[in-house]
């Protein structure tokens, strides 16, 4: 690229020396540090993370789709699965576009329009779309889970599979409309050389002011989602801990009731030994009734309680999964956006002068871009670590050939009696 710039300098009058390479010995310490950070995070870290994210999100889509089709899910679980599927699609597209953005060659001058040039021109807008889209999908899912757990009576009115699909579609449409201004920040400039040949460059629009857009963008897509997710997560964690505490107290109470019941039965038996035969008969009838009651408890009611316990376990797994996703977002994405906003306000960035604050800001961008890529790439690991049903379905997909074979049923033949 540098050799090309020297050769074209003799032919193109519109190309100045600022397009040429400057020996690295004349560069500042901040410039060298920024290039090293760029190499570590943008050229090595993000491609590896995004490649893993492509595989992980694809597996997440397969597992979540199979769970939705094969398992008898409740209305709440179906809504959560639809949201997780939409999130996996958005994360997959982000990983794909970010991987292309990092592995495609970077050029300042193009001999002719091609796909790489157009992707460099528009790719940043599409990547940003999927970033904010995934962010608000997480907000929608966390909000639904907050209503389902903290306000269960209102959940029947506000949460349904149809409403969840409408909310997801609205998120996609609103985020796409919001990213339209990003596609107008830069333009393709045509340079005419002395010999009549043409060159093409991607430059920022000179009269395009985006200060207002950046302020609105920070409020709507950075601070508001972070505050909402923080509130939802605190409420969900508190409610989960409260539910566990109540369940523990109920378990202790049931144990005490069982001890009192056994002691009362023992005293009844002792009194029965000194009573008449009539009282013995009544005691025997009482025992038979108690045995039949125990049989009913061990039979159908036990099956119902097991089904209810399984449904509660599934709901708890979905809630724990969403809590883990929100925690990961709050750790990797929210602080990075706040740091970029604060640093840009304290130290105005001059892209033309490229002073030390510009290089420091670029370092922050490289690190935060890697953190965002990590956030959208490792949800698959969270699902495996938190959701037992997800692990079971994944194991059945991977080890489909190792299902246990049905055991042969042997019928015992009774010999005919000789008459």
- The per-residue pLDDT for 41 is 93
Contact, 397 vs 66, CB < 8 A?
yes
Task: State whether residue 210 is helix, strand or coil.
Answer: coil
- The per-residue pLDDT for 296 is 38
Using a CB cutoff of 8 Å and minimum separation of 24, what contacts does 152-158 make?
Answer: 155/76
Contact, 321 vs 64, CB < 8 A?
no
The Cα–Cα gap between 146 and 346 comes to 36
The Cα–Cα gap between 394 and 397 comes to 5
Contact, 120 vs 103, CB < 8 A?
no
The Cα–Cα gap between 391 and 316 comes to 15
The Cα–Cα gap between 105 and 255 comes to 69
From 1.20.210.10, 3.40.50.11540, 1.10.10.10, 1.20.1070.10, which CATH number describes the 35-267+312-397 domain?
1.20.1070.10
The Cα–Cα gap between 61 and 207 comes to 44
Give 10-residue mean pLDDT values along the chain (419 residues): 40 47 63 90 94 94 80 74 92 94 86 88 92 93 89 83 92 93 87 84 78 77 89 88 80 63 53 47 48 42 43 63 89 81 68 70 88 92 88 82 48 44
Among candidates 397, 332, 321, which has minimal Cα distance to 83? 321
Q: Which burial class, exposed, middle or buried, applies to 148 when counting CB atoms under 10 A from its CB (0-12, 13-18, 19+)? A: buried
How many CA atoms within 13 Å lie on the side-chain side of 75? Answer: 13
Task: State whether residue 51 is helix, strand or coil.
Answer: helix
DSSP state of 402: G
- The per-residue pLDDT for 173 is 96
- The per-residue pLDDT for 69 is 65
Helix axes 300-332, 115-150, angle to 10 degrees: 130
The Cα–Cα gap between 194 and 226 comes to 54
- The per-residue pLDDT for 255 is 58
Q: Which burial class, exposed, middle or buried, applies to 50 when counting CB atoms under 10 A from its CB (0-12, 13-18, 19+)? A: buried
- The per-residue pLDDT for 262 is 55
Among candidates 360, 393, 411, 334, which has minimal Cα distance to 84? 393
Torsion of CA 59, 65, 67, 70, to 10 degrees: -130
Among candidates 169, 100, 162, which has minimal Cα distance to 136? 169
Instruction: Please name the helix (run of DSSP H) or strand (run of DSSP E) that holds residue 198, with its range, or none.
Output: strand 198-204
Strand pairing partners for 191? 199
Instruction: Please name the helix (run of DSSP H) or strand (run of DSSP E) that holds residue 80, with its range, or none.
Output: helix 75-103
Report phi then psi at 190, rounded to 5: -100, 125
Contact, 127 vs 183, CB < 8 A?
no
Q: What is the pTM of this model?
A: 0.75
- The per-residue pLDDT for 151 is 86
- The per-residue pLDDT for 412 is 44
Query: How do 186-192 and 198-204 pair as beta strands?
Result: antiparallel
Report phi then psi at 98, rounded to 5: -65, -35
| ∠ Cα 123 129 132 (to 5°) | 140
- The per-residue pLDDT for 260 is 59
The Cα–Cα gap between 194 and 36 comes to 37
């Amino acid at each position: 690229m540098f050799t090309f710039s020297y050769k074209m300098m003799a032919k193109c009058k519109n190309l100045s020396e600022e397009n040429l390479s400057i020996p690295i010995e004349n560069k500042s310490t901040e410039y060298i540090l920024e290039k090293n950070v760029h190499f570590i995070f943008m050229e090595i870290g993000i491609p590896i993370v995004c490649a893993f994210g492509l595989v992980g999100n694809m597996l997440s889509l397969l597992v979540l789709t199979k769970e939705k089709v094969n398992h008898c899910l409740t209305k709440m679980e179906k809504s959560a699965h639809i949201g997780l599927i939409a999130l996996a699609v958005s994360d997959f597209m982000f990983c794909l576009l970010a991987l292309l953005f990092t592995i495609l060659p970077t050029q300042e001058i193009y001999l002719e329009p091609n796909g790489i040039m157009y992707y460099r021109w528009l790719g940043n807008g599409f990547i940003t779309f999927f970033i904010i889209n995934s962010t608000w999908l997480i907000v929608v899912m966390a909000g639904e889970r907050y209503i389902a757990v903290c306000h269960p009576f209102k959940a029947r009115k506000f949460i349904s599979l149809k409403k969840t699909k409408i909310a997801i579609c609205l998120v996609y449409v609103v985020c796409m409309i919001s990213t339209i201004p990003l596609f107008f920040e830069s333009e393709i400039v045509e340079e005419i050389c002395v010999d009549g040949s043409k060159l093409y460059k991607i430059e920022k629009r000179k009269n395009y002011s985006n200060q207002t857009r950046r302020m609105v963008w920070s409020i709507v897509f950075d601070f508001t989602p972070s505050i909402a997710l923080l509130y939802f997560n605190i409420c969900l964690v508190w409610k989960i801990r409260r539910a566990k505490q109540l369940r523990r107290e109920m378990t202790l109470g049931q144990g005490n009731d069982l001890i009192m019941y056994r002691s009362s039965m023992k005293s009844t038996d002792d009194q029965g030994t000194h009573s008449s035969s009539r009282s013995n008969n009544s005691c025997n009838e009482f025992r038979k009734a108690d045995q039949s009651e125990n049989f009913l408890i061990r039979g159908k009611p036990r099956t119902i309680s097991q089904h209810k316990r399984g449904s509660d376990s599934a709901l708890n797994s979905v809630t724990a999964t969403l809590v883990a996703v929100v925690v990961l977002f709050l750790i990797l994405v929210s602080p990075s956006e706040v740091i970029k906003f604060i640093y840009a306000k304290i130290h105005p960035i001059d892209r033309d002068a490229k002073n030390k604050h510009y290089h420091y800001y670029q370092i922050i961008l490289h690190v935060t871009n890697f953190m965002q890529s990590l956030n959208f790439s490792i949800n698959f690991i969270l699902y495996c670590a938190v959701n037992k049903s997800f692990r079971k379905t994944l194991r059945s997909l991977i080890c489909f050939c190792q299902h246990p074979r049905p055991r042969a049923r042997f019928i015992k033949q009774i010999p005919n009696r000789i008459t």
